[in-house]
């Protein structure tokens, strides 16, 4: 990464264990994709969000070359697994990895254009 990733904890005690876990996830993404220019991770505790019903919310924003970005921020409100901080962090980075894969395909030109029908319509 061109700039160090920012990691913030809001409404939850940011232990060294979770800090290290997040840094490990970021390092894995850099190893796989290598073209990250900046990143920000915000972990919000369950007390601040009545809509999420006691769940953790993890937001990830990764900047890529050419002004592209990957943003992960929505936490499903009905999924009880998000009451576990480890699950919330791991799942957010799993979704970020998937979006990075999609962006990498687009940047390489591997995405197929939508085929037109034989009758000439779209």
The CATH number given to whatever domain includes residue 45 is: 3.30.160.100
- Residue 45 CB coordination number (10 Å): 17
Q: Strand 57-63 vs strand 69-72: parallel, antiparallel, or unpaired?
A: antiparallel
Q: Is 68 inside a domain boundary?
A: yes
Q: Is 64 inside a domain boundary?
A: yes
pTM surpassing 0.85? Answer: no
Q: Strand 57-63 vs strand 38-44: parallel, antiparallel, or unpaired?
A: antiparallel
Q: Is 46 inside a domain boundary?
A: yes
- Residue 91: half-sphere exposure toward Cβ, Cα within 13 Å: 19
Full domain range(s) for residue 10? 6-108
More confident residue, 85 or 112: 85
- pLDDT level of residue 104 (50, 70, 90 thresholds): confident
Q: Is 114 inside a domain boundary?
A: no
Q: Is 54 inside a domain boundary?
A: yes
Domain count, the chain: 1
The secondary structure of 37-70 as a DSSP string is: -EEEEEEE-GGG-GGGTS--EEEEEEE-GGG-EE
pLDDT at 101: 87
Residues 23 and 26: their CA atoms lie apart, in Å, by 5
Supply the mean pLDDT for the chain.
81
Residue 61 scores a pLDDT above 90? yes
More confident residue, 2 or 10: 10
Q: Is 45 inside a domain boundary?
A: yes
Q: Is 118 inside a domain boundary?
A: no
Q: Is 1 inside a domain boundary?
A: no
């Amino acid at each position: 990464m061109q700039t160090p990733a920012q990691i913030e904890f809001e409404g939850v005690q940011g232990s060294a264990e979770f800090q290290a876990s997040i840094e490990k996830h970021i390092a894995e993404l850099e190893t796989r994709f290598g073209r990250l220019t900046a990143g920000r991770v915000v972990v919000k505790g369950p007390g601040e969000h009545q809509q999420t019903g006691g769940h953790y919310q993890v937001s990830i924003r990764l900047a890529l070359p050419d002004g592209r970005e990957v943003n992960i921020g929505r936490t499903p409100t009905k999924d009880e697994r998000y009451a576990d901080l480890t699950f919330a962090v791991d799942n957010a980075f799993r979704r970020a990895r998937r979006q990075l894969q999609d962006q990498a395909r687009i940047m390489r030109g591997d995405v197929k254009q939508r085929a037109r029908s034989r009758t000439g319509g779209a």
